[in-house]
Homo-oligomer: A and B are copies of this chain.
Amino acid sequence: MTRVVLATRNAHKVAELGQILGGLGLAIELVGLDAYPDVPEVAETGATFAANALLKAEAVAAATGQPAIADDSGLCVDALNGMPGIFSARWSGGGGDAANLDLVLAQIAEVPDERRGAAFRCSAVLVVPGHVGEVAEGEVRGRLLRERRGTNGFGYDPIFVPDGESRTTAEMDAEEKNALSHRGRAFRALAPMIERALR
C-alpha cells in the first residue's frame, strides 16, 4: 500500500479529500501534512489553480520522497471577472473565511440577481517523485445569495447555491456536497491517474 501525502494542513480539506478518495477503492494510504511537520510552507505564487497545486505537490513530494497530492481551488464570481479565484483563501488580506465571504458579499451588494452567477473551480494534482505531475480539473456552477444559509462546509459554501439546487452547499451533508462539488469532480477525475501512476 503506497503512502500518499496530501499537501495541506487544512483539517477541513484533509477530511474532505480523505472522504472523496477513500470511497474510490484505491490501494493507497492517505496522510496529511501533519505527519510531516518539517515540510516548509510553499508560497502560492502561481497565476492559476493548476500552477499553485503543482507548486504545492512538487514541494511536498521533494521534501518527503513520497507521492504527493495537492489541490488549489476557489470561487470564481462572474461579476468580479472570475475573482477571488486563486486568491479565495486570502481575499480580505488575511481576515479568514468569514471576512473573505463578507467582503465578496459587500463587493457585489449592488449586483442584481441575474448577474450573480459564480463557479467553484478546482485543480487537483498528483506528483510522483521523479515523474511529471498529473492534473485534473473540476467545476460546479451556481449563483450567490445575499446572505448566509447553512452551517456545513467551509469557505464560501454558505452563499453558494449550485445550479439545479435550492440549497447552499453549506446546507448539504458531506456526501451530497462531494457528489457535486468542484473538488469531488476534480479528485474523481484524478483517481484513474493515481491508479495508473502508482501501479
Q: Which A residues contact B (CB, under 8 angstroms)?
A: 43-45, 47, 79-83, 85, 87, 90-94, 102-103, 105-107, 109-112, 115
Cβ of A187 to closest chain B Cβ, rounded Å: 26
Q: Within the complex, which residue of B90, B93, B110 is in contact with A45, where a contact is CB–CB below 8 Å?
A: B110
Interface pairs (24), CB distance under 8 Å: A43-B110, A44-B110, A45-B110, A45-B111, A47-B79, A80-B83, A80-B87, A81-B81, A81-B82, A81-B83, A81-B85, A83-B83, A90-B106, A90-B107, A91-B107, A92-B103, A92-B106, A93-B102, A93-B103, A93-B105, A93-B106, A93-B107, A93-B109, A103-B103
- CA of A112 to CA of B93, assembled, Å: 17
- CA of A81 to CA of B106, assembled, Å: 19
CB neighbours (8 Å) of A107 from chain B are: 87, 90-91, 93
Who on chain B is nearest to A84 by CB?
B107
Who on chain B is nearest to A76 by CB?
B81
CB neighbours (8 Å) of A112 from chain B are: 45
Known contacts A80-B83, A81-B82, A81-B83, A47 near B106 by CB under 8 Å: no
